[in-house]
Amino acid sequence: MIKRTALSFAVAFVLGAALAAPVMAAEGTPHPPRNKWSFAGPFGTFDRAQLQRGFKVYREVCSVCHSIELLTFRNLSEPGGPGYSAAQAATVAAEFKIPDIDDSGQPTERPGRPADAFPKPFANDAQARNTHGAVPPDMSVLAKARTYERGFPWFLLDMVTQFQEHGPDYIVALMHGYKEKPADFQLPEAAYYNEYFPGHVIKMKAPLTDGQVTYDDGSPATVDQYSKDIAAFLVWAAEPHMEQRKRIGLQVMLFLIVLSGLLYFTKKKVWSAVH
């Protein structure tokens, strides 16, 4: 009985998924191509040099419009991150202006401190909308928030292969997705055509061009490289303790395997008189 219920659930699940897939395909947004990421999989770790490059791209390009309000400057010097020293993180903080209140109660600005978060580059949403046509979303968890449906049968496979890098793949694709609009496409004013943005109408002008940011480590100064680096940085920003989480996860699995063995032999011993 239970077996049959489980089976019908499984059939319903698979059928439902298969029916849902064509709906997404009909929207006309292609799936972002997959990239190789050092942080993918249960053993994945961040590439420090890549995080530093990604931070440089954020600092010089994206931070003009996007905040990362859940990330503090001191996170930059914590283990598992881009590997800056505490002094370097403090220097970065001091380059940002943080809104504050002075002793007489008036609003003022002061240089950032390590405990401050990456500030908003605009006073309020209305101002941002006026300047940029839309509010640039905060980047704290953008790499996790922006995913896409891979559809059947991929999502089943993804559970096995532990594929979770939808977010960074989407960000890379979005940076590459600026194209000439098709002739019959109605593009509103002050908007841009992007192949990978749902609906294709995005208010953000293509933020990256080749040669815009210079890297000290000899990595190519191309949009392709920039977009991978900024995507990796945003994955770290969304989960600064990912490496620790994966390490603890592995330790727990090892512990459970050893514990299962011990329990098995204990059971054998306890029941030996009965058998």
Residue numbers 182-221 binding ligand HEC by CB under 6 A:
202-204, 207-208
**Residue closer to ligand HEC (CB basis): 65 or 76:** 65
Residue numbers 229-248 binding ligand HEC by CB under 6 A:
230
Beta bridge pairs of residue 99 = 109
Residue numbers 52-91 binding ligand HEC by CB under 6 A:
57, 61-62, 64-66
Size of the residue set binding ligand HEC (CB under 6 A): 21
Residue numbers 121-160 binding ligand HEC by CB under 6 A:
132-134, 136-137, 142, 146
* Distance in Å, CB of 59 to ligand HEC, minimum: 10
* Distance in Å, CB of 129 to ligand HEC, minimum: 8
Provide the residue type at 101 as one letter: I
Instruction: Please tell me the distance from the alpha carbon of residue 163 to that of residue 7, in angstroms, as a whole number.
Output: 26
* Distance in Å, CB of 178 to ligand HEC, minimum: 12
**Residue closer to ligand HEC (CB basis): 117 or 128:** 128
Query: Does residue 164 sit in helix, strand or coil?
Result: coil
Angstrom distances, CA of residue 17 to CA of 9, 148, 250, 274: 12, 14, 31, 49
Verify binding: residue 44, ligand HEC, rule CB under 6 A: no
Instruction: Please tell me the distance from the alpha carbon of residue 247 to that of residue 241, in angstroms, as a whole number.
Output: 10
* Distance in Å, CB of 95 to ligand HEC, minimum: 17
Query: Does residue 135 sit in helix, strand or coil?
Result: coil
**Residue closer to ligand HEC (CB basis): 90 or 174:** 174
**Residue closer to ligand HEC (CB basis): 114 or 207:** 207
* Distance in Å, CB of 204 to ligand HEC, minimum: 3
* Distance in Å, CB of 8 to ligand HEC, minimum: 37
Which DSSP letter does residue 120 get? P
Question: If you write DSSP's letter for every residue of 3-67 in order, what string do you get?
Answer: HHHHHHHHHHHHHHHHHHHHHHHHTTPPPPPP---TT-STT----HHHHHHHHHHHHHTGGGT--
Question: If you write DSSP's letter for every residue of 66-107 in order, what string do you get?
Answer: --EEEEEGGGGGSTTSS---HHHHHHHHHTSEEEEE-TTS-E
Of 68, 117, 171, 172, the one binding ligand HEC (CB under 6 A) is 171
* Distance in Å, CB of 222 to ligand HEC, minimum: 13
Instruction: Please tell me the distance from the alpha carbon of residue 227 to that of residue 219, in angstroms, as a whole number.
Output: 13
The closest of 199, 187, 193, 207 to 136, measured between CA atoms, is 207
**Residue closer to ligand HEC (CB basis): 117 or 174:** 174
Where do we find the tokens 């109660």?
105
The binding site for ligand HEC (CB under 6 A) comprises: 57, 61-62, 64-66, 132-134, 136-137, 142, 146, 171, 174, 202-204, 207-208, 230
